Amino acid sequence: MRELICINCPMGCHLKVDDTDKENIIVTGNTCNRGKVYGINEVLHPKRMVTSLVTVIGGEHAVVSCKTKEAIPKELIFDSLEVLKNTKVNAPVSIGDVLVSNILGTGVDVVATSNVKRV
């Protein structure tokens, strides 16, 4: 039995996840179905969206914000940050531009989340 706080929305439901049977995981305490899905995923393969910054060359700002387009396995957070740390992009950058494609072989792209003009 694992106790989790659902993070899908501000409700923050306190979930109880019984994962003794991996084929039939039982979630209680959730208000909606998203909570159930979260509970199961959080036990089987926790994922997180990673948001960070990437260095921009020749832009109005030194950095551009970015995100993994979808959540990636939680254990890859720091490895993905290491990739982002070593990534440099040239201005201009627009929202949605792919900055790193298929990061760490997850199949998930890292995209820009803000616009940086060239100066």
Partner 1 sequence: MEKKVRLLIVGGGPAGLAAAVEAYDKGERDILILERENKLGGILNQCIHNGFGLHTFNEELTGPEYAQRFIDEVEKRKIAYLLNTTVIEVSDKKCVKALNEGGLLEIQAEAIILSCGCRERPRGAINIAGSRGAGVFSAGTAQKLVNIDGLMPGKEVVILGSGDIGLIMARRMTFEGAKVKAVVELMPYSSGLNRNIVQCLNDFNIPLLFSHTVVEIKGDNRVESVIIAEVDERLNPKMETAQEIKCDTLLLSVGLLPENELARGANVDISRITRGAVVDDRLMTNIDGIFECGNVLHVHDLVDFVSLEAREAGAKAVEYINSKDKNKKYESIAIETDGKVRYVVPELILKNDDSNPLTLKLRVSNVFKKVRLEVSVDNEVIYSRVKQVVAPGEMQTIDLKSEDVLKLRKANSIKVYLRSME
Partner 2 sequence: MVDVLIIGSGIIGSSLARELSKTSASVLVLEKGNDVSVGTTKANSGIVHAGFDAKPGTRKAFFNVRGAKMYPVLAKELDFPFKKNGAFVLSFSKDGHDTLVDLLDRAEKNGVSGCEIISGDEIRKLEPNVSKEVVEGLYAKESGIVSPYEMCIAMAENAASNGVKFEFLKKVTNIEKQSNHFKVICEDCSSYEAKVVVNAAGCHADEINNMVSSRKYEIVARKGEYVLLDKEFSWVSSRTLFQLPTKMGKGILVSPTCHGNIIVGPTALDVDDKDLTWTTPSGLKEAWDKALLTVPNLPRGGIITQFSGLRAHTKEDDFVVGFAEDVKGFYNLLGIESPGLASSPAIAEFAANEIKEYLNLGVNPKFNPIRKGIKHISHMSSEELNEAIKENRQFGHVICRCEVVSEAEIREAIRRVPGAKDLDGVKRRVRAGMGRCQMGFCTPKIMEILAEELGESIEDVSKRGKGSEITIGRIKE
Q: Name which position in 32, 57, 62, 98 contacts partner 1 (CB under 8 A).
A: 62
Q: Which does 16 bind (CB under 5 to 8 A by kind): partner 1, partner 2, none?
A: none
Q: Which does 4 bind (CB under 5 to 8 A by kind): partner 2, partner 1, none?
A: partner 1
Residue in the structure block whose two tokens are 């959080």: 42
Q: Is 44 in the site for partner 1 (CB under 8 A)?
A: no
Least separation, in Å, of the C-beta of 85 and partner 2? 5
Q: Cβ neighbours of residue 67 under 8 Å, at least 6 residues apart?
A: 49, 50, 51, 52, 110, 111, 113
Evaluate whether 71 touches 48 at the Cβ level (below 8 Å). yes
